[in-house]
């Protein structure tokens, strides 16, 4: 799909001002949730191929670094495929282009804002004695730190682009058609944060705390996409944010 195809509005799509009916809004929600579920299923199936390959080649599931990273990469391929197939099949292009100077400002400023805000919230939560659930990647990375560096690179090359294509480009874009930009950002952000419950380890309460903090990052991504209408912006913002946290985690593990 070319950049022009991604950027041009699809013929026949309802504008935000068309005020879709209740049925149209219900359909939009179901499509958004359906895209999320299908993305998770396809991503999981593709990611599992690396696990299967490890078992076949080594005779055991060892979560070795190359296979773990390969599994994560294939999972992201699944997310991206679902978003792109949806966009092409239903004529809902996802705008993507080389960022302008202003959009680079959104990328850098958004990354700093997300990092500062999440760091502050995490410190506040710890200060008042509320437990947050750690990310499963952090647990694995504490035993094999090199995975953290590999995933930092993967975050920029695959995780950011794939997750933003699905959750901002496809999900948020579909919700915007029915509800407008504000509700679309809130809805897509809530869905994005919620699916990350599968990536943390802890009690239900601790998981809810972590998801609530992650919601802040998701809102920054959603606003950046709405203000620029260029999925490359939240993709790079997302990738840089993840890469920074993973690199800092690597330094902490090695130094500690």
Contacts of 60 (CB under 8 A, 6+ apart): 54
Q: Which two tokens stand for residue 119?
A: 């760091």
| DSSP string for residues in 114-182 | HHHHHHHHHHHHHHTT---PPBHHHHHHHH-THHHHHHHHHIIIIIHHHHHIIIIIIIIHHHHHHH-HH
Read off the DSSP letter of residue 234. Answer: H
Q: Which two tokens stand for residue 17?
A: 């001002």
3-class DSSP assignment, residue 226: helix
Taking the C-alpha atoms of residue 218 and residue 221, their distance in angstroms, rounded to an integer, is 5
Three-state SS letters, 30-62: HHHHHHHHHHHHHHHHHHHHHHHHHHHHHCCCC
Taking the C-alpha atoms of residue 3 and residue 46, their distance in angstroms, rounded to an integer, is 27
**pLDDT value at residue 200:** 84
Domain borders along the chain are: 16-255
- Per-residue pLDDT of 68-90, as tens digits, reads 899 999 999 999 999 999 999 99
- Per-residue pLDDT of 162-173, as tens digits, reads 999 999 999 999
3-class DSSP assignment, residue 228: helix
Taking the C-alpha atoms of residue 207 and residue 134, their distance in angstroms, rounded to an integer, is 8
Taking the C-alpha atoms of residue 147 and residue 137, their distance in angstroms, rounded to an integer, is 9
Q: Is 173 exposed, middle or buried (0-12, 13-18, 19+ CB in 10 A)?
A: buried
**pLDDT value at residue 218:** 97
247 Cα distance to chain centroid? 18
pLDDT 10s digit of each residue in the chain, 256 long? 444 444 444 434 444 445 567 888 999 999 999 999 999 999 999 999 998 988 888 777 666 678 889 999 999 999 999 999 999 999 999 999 999 999 999 999 999 999 999 999 999 998 998 888 888 887 788 888 999 999 999 999 999 999 999 999 999 999 999 999 999 999 999 999 999 988 888 888 889 999 999 999 999 999 999 999 999 999 999 999 999 999 999 999 998 7
Q: How far is CA 156 from CA 44, 73, 85, 223, 228, in A?
A: 20, 11, 22, 19, 19
Taking the C-alpha atoms of residue 169 and residue 188, their distance in angstroms, rounded to an integer, is 10
- Whole-model pTM: value is 0.89
């Amino acid at each position: 799909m070319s950049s022009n195809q991604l950027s041009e509005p699809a013929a026949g799509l309802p504008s935000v001002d068309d005020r879709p009916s209740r049925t149209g809004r219900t359909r939009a929600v179901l499509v958004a949730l359906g895209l999320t579920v299908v993305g998770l299923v396809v991503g999981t199936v593709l990611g599992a191929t690396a696990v299967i390959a490890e078992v076949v080649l080594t005779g055991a599931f060892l979560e070795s670094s190359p296979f773990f990273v390969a599994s994560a990469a294939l999972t992201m391929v699944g997310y991206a495929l679902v978003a792109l197939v949806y966009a092409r099949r239903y004529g809902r292009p996802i705008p993507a282009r080389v960022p302008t100077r202003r959009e680079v400002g959104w990328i850098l400023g958004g990354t700093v804002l997300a990092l500062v805000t999440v760091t502050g919230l995490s410190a506040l939560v710890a200060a008042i004695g509320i437990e947050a659930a750690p990310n499963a990647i952090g647990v694995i990375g504490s035993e094999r730190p090199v995975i953290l560096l590999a995933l930092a690179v993967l975050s920029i090359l695959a995780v950011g682009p794939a997750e933003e294509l699905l959750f901002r480009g496809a999900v948020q874009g579909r919700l915007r058609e029915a509800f407008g930009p504000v509700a679309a950002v809130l809805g897509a952000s809530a869905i994005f944060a919620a699916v990350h419950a599968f990536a943390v380890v802890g009690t239900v309460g601790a998981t809810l705390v972590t998801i609530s903090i992650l919601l802040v990052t998701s809102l920054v991504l959603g606003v950046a996409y709405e203000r620029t209408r260029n999925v490359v912006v939240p993709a790079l913002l997302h990738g840089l944010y993840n890469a920074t946290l993973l690199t800092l985690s690597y330094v902490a593990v090695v130094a500690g």
